[in-house]
């Protein structure tokens, strides 16, 4: 029996009993990545909200392995010729407060599973939290929010984040990467705010 089960912890996805690390066995069986254009994701935000919140706000590091492994399988199945993996950066103070960047934890595990290099390539200037902003405000991301820490050596990138809401964050980072010579930028996220078809 897992430590979480002894403490009465619940699965962050379905709320059921937790008898496996991070996510219950039933939800693990449903971990199948979906593909929409140049994005792989596990499902809609309504279903995966608990997992996203547990990873971001409750120190749910045990969620990283099952979520990232399913995303890595989705990337592998997509046939994209990815050369390296990077993560959407968080602000330094959010990383300090949490002790980690959830997107980077996912990206490092995905890179390991795909046997690709993980590169901490980008940084983020301070911006107010996106979680309390209206949809139209989220869609207008200020230019210069993201910047390169070093010149990229690769041309085909997998960009990892936790959630796709409007796509504004992804597009802002993609612009930075393409301006630095990227030929292709693909995405991997846990959840899409609206289910993609």
- 40 - beta bridge partners? 35, 188
93/139 same-domain check: yes
25/36 same-domain check: no
How does strand 184-192 pair with strand 163-164?
A: parallel
Residues of the domain holding 10: 1-30
CA distance 91 to 19: 34
Mean pLDDT of 71-86: 97
82/117 same-domain check: yes
102/171 same-domain check: yes
Does 8 have pLDDT greater than 80?
no
Q: pLDDT tens digit string along 139-151? A: 455 677 999 999 9
Identify whether 197 is part of a domain. no
Provide the pLDDT confidence category of residue 3 given band limits of 50, 70 and 90.
very low
53/142 same-domain check: yes
Q: Is the dihedral of CA 180, 126, 42, 113 positive or negative?
A: positive
Mean pLDDT of 36-50: 93
- Domain count of the fold of the chain: 2
72/153 same-domain check: yes
Identify whether 21 is part of a domain. yes
139/162 same-domain check: yes
Identify whether 164 is part of a domain. yes
> Residue 154 has what pLDDT?
97
CA distance 143 to 122: 14
Average pLDDT, the chain: 86
23/74 same-domain check: no
180/85 same-domain check: yes
4/43 same-domain check: no
23/40 same-domain check: no
5/76 same-domain check: no
CA distance 194 to 44: 6
Q: pLDDT tens digit string along 90-133? A: 887 877 778 889 999 999 999 999 999 999 999 998 765 555 55
Provide the pLDDT confidence category of residue 7 given band limits of 50, 70 and 90.
low
Does 67 have pLDDT greater than 60?
yes
| Buried b / exposed e along 31-56 (16+ C-beta atoms within 10 A) | bebebeeebbbbbebeebbbbbebbb
In CATH, what number is assigned to the domain containing residue 163?
3.40.50.2020
Lowest average pLDDT, out of 31-45, 56-70, 153-167, goes to: 56-70
CA distance 177 to 147: 9
Provide the pLDDT confidence category of residue 5 given band limits of 50, 70 and 90.
very low
Q: Please classify residue 168 by burial: count the beta carbons closer than 10 Å to its beta carbon, then call 0-12 exposed, 13-18 middle and 19+ buried.
A: middle
pTM value is 0.86
> Residue 197 has what pLDDT?
43
- 41 - beta bridge partners? 34, 189
Identify whether 39 is part of a domain. yes
Mean pLDDT of 42-52: 92
């Amino acid at each position: 029996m897992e430590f979480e089960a002894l403490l009465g912890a619940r699965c962050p996805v379905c709320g059921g009993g937790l008898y496996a690390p991070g996510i219950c066995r039933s939800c693990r069986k449903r971990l199948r990545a979906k593909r929409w254009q140049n994005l792989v994701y596990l499902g809609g935000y309504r279903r995966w909200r608990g997992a996203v919140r547990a990873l971001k706000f409750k120190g749910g590091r045990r969620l990283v392995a099952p979520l990232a492994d399913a995303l890595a399988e989705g990337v592998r199945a997509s046939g994209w010729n990815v050369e390296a993996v990077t993560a959407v950066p968080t602000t330094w103070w959010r990383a300090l407060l949490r002790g980690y960047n959830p997107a980077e934890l996912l990206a490092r595990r995905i890179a390991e599973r795909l046997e690709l290099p993980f590169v901490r390539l980008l940084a983020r200037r301070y911006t107010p939290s996106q979680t309390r902003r209206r949809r139209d405000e989220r869609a207008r991301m200020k230019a210069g929010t993201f910047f390169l820490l070093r010149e990229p050596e690769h041309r085909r990138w997998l960009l990892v984040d936790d959630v796709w809401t409007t796509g504004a964050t992804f597009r802002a980072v993609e612009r930075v990467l393409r301006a630095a010579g990227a030929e292709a930028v693909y995405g991997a996220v846990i959840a899409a705010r609206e289910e993609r078809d």
